Structure 1
Amino acid sequence: MTPGQTGGKGLALHYKVLIGFVLGTLAGLAIHSFIGDAPWVHTLITYGTQPFGKIFLNLLFMLVVPLMFSALVLGVAELGDIASLGRLGWRTLMYTAVVTCAAVGIGLLCANVFQPGTHLDPALIDKVVGSNLGKADQIIEQGKGLNFMDLIINIVPHNIVGAMGDDKQKLGIVFFALMFGVGLVMHPSAGTQAFKNTLQGVFDISMTLIGLFIRLAPYAVAAFMFNLTAQLGFDAIRALIWFVVTVVVALAIHGFVVLPLWVRFMGGMSPRVFFRGTQEAILTAFATASSTATLPVTLRVAEENLKLPRKVSRFVLTVGASANHHGTALFEGITVLFLAQASGMHLPITQQLLVLILCILGGIGTAGIPSGSLPVIAMICAIIGMDAQKIGIILGVNTFLDMCRTALNVTGDLATAVVVSKRSGEADLPDDAALEKVEESVAH
C-alpha cells in the first residue's frame, strides 16, 4: 500500500478529500445562513478548525525543503550528464513560457469581453476599499519590496539557510539543488555516491512522513471550507460576481480546453487518463491553496498514476512548484484589468501587452503559498500608474479564487511534466488502451 491509498476496499484518499470538501462547505453555509455571527462560531473557528488547518499545512511545509532539495538533486543526478540537464531545463522553460503566455492571454481576453470592473457600484468600491485599507497597505508594502532585478539576483542565494526559511526565496533552493546535482554528476566517486544514497534516504523518509500526514487531508479540507463559508457565505462573492465569473471562466478555459489539448497533442496522453490520475493532487491544491504544500502529492501521482519517469517528474515538478504558475499569472492579468476598469482607467493594447509580460514574469516570482500573488499584483499596478490600494476590492473573494488558481497551477505543472517526458523521449505514457489499468490502480 502506497502513501495516499487505502487498504482493502476503503475509499481512495481523493474521494475522501472530495467528501470532506462537500461536507465542510455545506456545514459552513448552514452555519452562516441560520446562525450567523454567534460567539460560539467564532470560538469554534478560532480555537478549533482554523488551528487544525494551519497545523496540517505546517506539517506539509516543514517537509517541503528536504523533499524539494532531495528530489531535485536526485533528479539531476539521474540524468547522468550536464547536456541532458540542459536539454531538460530548456524544454521545461520553453513549454512553461508558452503555456503561461496562453494563460495570461486568455485572462486578458476574458477581462476585455466580460468587463467585470464596469459592473461595480462606485459607492461599493469606496466602502470595500475603506474596510480593507489596512490589509491593502500591508500588501502594497510587500509589493514595494519586489522588483524583477532582485528576483533574478535572489535566484542565487547568498545564504541558503535563510532561503530555506523564506517562502519568497524558494527559487534559491531550486538553484542550490541544481548546483548540487551538477556537482554529483561532474564528480562521481565513492563519497558522492554515498551522499546520493543518503539523499535517497531523505527523500524516502520525507515521502513516508507525508504519507502519514496526508491522511489528515479530508479533515483539513473540511476545516478550510468550513472556515471560508461560515464567515463569508455567498455575500462576498455576490458583490463581486462578475469578477469571480470572469476569473473562473478563464481558469476553466485554460484548464479544461488548453491543457487537455496540450497533453493530448504534445504529450501523447489521453486527457481522461491525465485527469483521472491527477485528481488527488488537484483536489489537494484546491484545498490548501498552496502549490508548494501540494508538491509531495504532485510528485507521487506523477510517478505512480501517470507513470512518468522520476528523473523528469522530480525535476519538472519541483521547479514548477516554485516557478510554473499558470493560474496565478492568469489571475494577475485579469485582476489588473479589473482594477483598472473599476478605477475608470482605459488600458490601451500597448499597456495590456506590458501587463501580459509582467504577469508572465510575476507568475515565476510568485511565492507558492496562499495569497502569494497579491504583492505581485500591487507591484504591477504601481508600474502602470494605478492606485494599488484598489486591491482591497478583491480581498473578500481572494481566498476562494486562490484555491481555484492553485488547482490550475498544479494541473499545469503535471501537464508540463507529461509533455517534457514525451518530448524528451523518456516515457512511454499510458494511452486510451491502458485507461482501465490506470483507473484501477488509482482507485485501489
Structure 2
Amino acid sequence: MHAATSTARRGLPLHVKVMLGFVLGALIGLVVHVVAPDATWVANAIAYVAKPFGQIFLNLLFMLVVPLMFSALVLGVAELGDIASLGRLGWRTLIYTAGMTTAAVGIGLLMVNVMQPGLHLPPGLVQQAMASNLAKAGEIVTKGNELNFVDLIVNVVPHNIVGAMGDDKQKLGIVFFALMIGIGLVMRPSPGTEAFKNALQGLFEVCMHLIGMFIKLAPYAVFAFMFILCAQLGWSVLIGLGWFVATVVIALALHGFVVIPLWVRFMGGMSPLVFFRGSQEATLTAFATASSNATLPVTLRVAEENLHLPRKVSRFVLTVGASANHHGTALFEGITVLFLAQVYGLELPLVKQLLVLVLCILGGIGTAGIPSGSLPVIAMICGIIGLPAQGIGIILGVNTFLDMCRTALNVTGDLATAVVVSHRSGEADLPENAPTQGGVGH
C-alpha cells in the first residue's frame, strides 16, 4: 500500500503541484506576516533563500528564451512552405490580436468608468504610497520619458541582432530577424539551407528537453514567489487599494472567462473547457513568473502536446504573441491611466479616452514581456495626456500581484489566438473533445 501511495504521489500532475505550491506559499506567507512581520529571520529567509531560488528559476527559463524564440519562429515560417502562407498567417494573427486587444482595453475602460476606483482612495493613503515609492516612481518615469512610438517602430528592425538578444525592449527585433531568416529558407531551398533547418530543429528539441527538466522546479518557485509577496505585503496593501485591485481583477476576469471562451468556441471551434484544461499549466506558470517571455517555453509545449495545435502555426503565433500580444497588459494600462486621472481630479472626455485606448493597444505591443514591463509605458501615456506620471507610485504596492494576474491573461490570450488562427486558416480541424491529458503531468 505504501508503494502504491508513493507511485501516486510521483504521478501527481505538474499543474496540481504548482497550485499546491501557490496555495501553501500564500498561506504560510500570510501567517508569517501576521505573526512575525518584522522578524529578522523572515527578512533573511526572503533575502537568502526565497528570492535567490525564485530568481534562479526565472534565469533558467530566460536563458532558453532567445534560442527557443529564434528556432521556433524560423522553423514555423520555414514549414509554411511559401510566402503566401506566411502572409495569410501573419495578417490573421495581426487582425485577431488587434481586435482582441481592443476588446480587452474597452472592457478595462468601461469598468474603470463604472467602478470609479480613483474616487474611493483616501488622500492620506495617496500621500503615503507616493512618499514610500518616490524613488522607484522617479526611475519608472525616466524610463517612460525615454520611450516613444517612433523608436519602438524603428527598433523592430535591429541594427545589431546580438545586442537585441540581450535587451528585453528589443525582443521584437529578434522576431523580425527570425522572420527574415525563415523567409530566406523558404525562398532559397538547397542542401545547405536544409542542413541549417535540421540544426535549428535540433536546437529547438534540446531547448524543449531542458525545459522539461527545469519546469519540475516550478511548484517550489511558485511557493517562493507567493511566500515573498504575502509575507511582505499581507492584506493591508490590497485592502487600501481595494477598489483599484477589484476593478483590474474583475475586468481581467470578464475578458478571460467570458470573451476568450466565446472567441475560442465560435471562432476557434474548440470547447472552452478543453481549452482551459489544456492551457492551465502555461497559465499558472505565467501567473507565478509574471513574464510572458519566461513562460514561452511552457506555452509552446502546452500548445503542441495538450491543445494539439499544428507546429507551424503555434510556433509562429505564440512566439510573436510573447512579444506583441498582451491583452492583459493593455487592459491594465488603460485602467491605471484612467484611475490616476480620477485620483488627480482630471476629467477625461470621450475623445481623450479613445486616445488612451489607441495608446494602450500600441503600448501593449511595445511592452517588454518581463515583470512590470508595462509601468514605463503607463508613464509615457500619462505624459501624453497631461497626467503627472509620478502618480504610478500609488499603485506600486499592489503591482506585483496585478502583474501576475495580467500576465496569466496575456499567455491565455496567446494560446486562444493560436487556436483561432489554426482553425480559421484550415491548418487544424480541432475536435470538440480533443484529448488533453498528454503532456499535462510531467
TM-score, normalised to structure 1's length?
0.97
Shift of 1:438: 2.5
Partner of 1:215: 216
Matched, 1:438 2:439: no
Q: Structure 1 residues 7-16 or 410-419, which shifts more? A: 7-16
CA distance in 2, matches of 1:7, 1:184: 47
Partner of 2:72: 71
> How do 1:340-359 and structure 2 match up within 5 A?
340-359=341-360
* 3-state SS, counterpart of residue 79 of structure 1: coil
CA distance in 1, matches of 2:123, 2:194: 65
CA distance in 2, matches of 1:286, 1:119: 28
Shift of 1:439: 4.3
Shift of 1:372: 0.2
- Pair 438,127 (structure 1): closer, same or farther in 2 beyond 3 Å: closer
Shift of 1:162: 0.3
CA distance in 1, matches of 2:360, 2:41: 42
Shift of 1:442: 3.7
RMSD: 1.2
Partner of 2:189: 188
Deviations 1:55-106 (A, max 9, x none): 1000000110000000000000000000000000000000000000000000
Partner of 2:388: 387
Matched, 1:267 2:268: yes
Partner of 1:3: none
CA distance in 2, matches of 1:414, 1:361: 20
Q: Structure 1 residues 123-132 or 347-356, which shifts more? A: 123-132
| Aligned partner letter, 2:130 | V
- Pair 366,127 (structure 1): closer, same or farther in 2 beyond 3 Å: same
Partner of 1:148: 149
Shift of 1:124: 1.6
| Aligned partner letter, 1:236 | V
- Contact 1:269–1:431 under 8 Å retained in 2: yes
CA distance in 1, matches of 2:275, 2:422: 13
Matched, 1:251 2:252: yes
TM-score, normalised to structure 2's length?
0.97
CA distance in 2, matches of 1:285, 1:230: 21
Partner of 1:90: 91
Partner of 1:124: 125
Shift of 1:122: 1.4
Shift of 1:443: 5.5
CA distance in 1, matches of 2:318, 2:259: 19
CA distance in 2, matches of 1:72, 1:12: 29
Identical amino acids, percent of aligned pairs: 76
CA distance in 1, matches of 2:441, 2:60: 26
CA distance in 2, matches of 1:212, 1:21: 20
Matched, 1:320 2:317: no
- Pair 243,417 (structure 1): closer, same or farther in 2 beyond 3 Å: same
Partner of 1:15: 16
- Contact 2:334–2:356 under 8 Å retained in 1: yes
- Contact 1:306–1:430 under 8 Å retained in 2: no
CA distance in 1, matches of 2:61, 2:185: 28
| Aligned partner letter, 1:361 | L
Partner of 1:137: 138
- Pair 109,81 (structure 1): closer, same or farther in 2 beyond 3 Å: same
> How do 1:233-244 and structure 2 match up within 5 A?
233-244=234-245
Partner of 1:429: 430
Partner of 1:50: 51
Partner of 1:413: 414
Q: Give the unaligned 5+ runs of structure 1.
A: 1-5
Deviations 1:389-422 (A, max 9, x none): 0000000000000000000000000000000000
- Contact 2:286–2:411 under 8 Å retained in 1: yes
| Aligned partner letter, 2:194 | Q
Partner of 2:31: 30
Q: Give the unaligned 5+ runs of structure 2.
A: 1-6
Q: Structure 1 residues 355-364 or 204-213, which shifts more? A: 204-213
- Pair 176,265 (structure 1): closer, same or farther in 2 beyond 3 Å: same
Shift of 1:36: 1.0
Question: When the two structures are aligned, how many residues end up with a matched partner?
Answer: 436
- Contact 1:273–1:430 under 8 Å retained in 2: no
Shift of 1:360: 0.1
Partner of 1:60: 61
- Contact 1:307–1:430 under 8 Å retained in 2: no
CA distance in 2, matches of 1:324, 1:85: 18
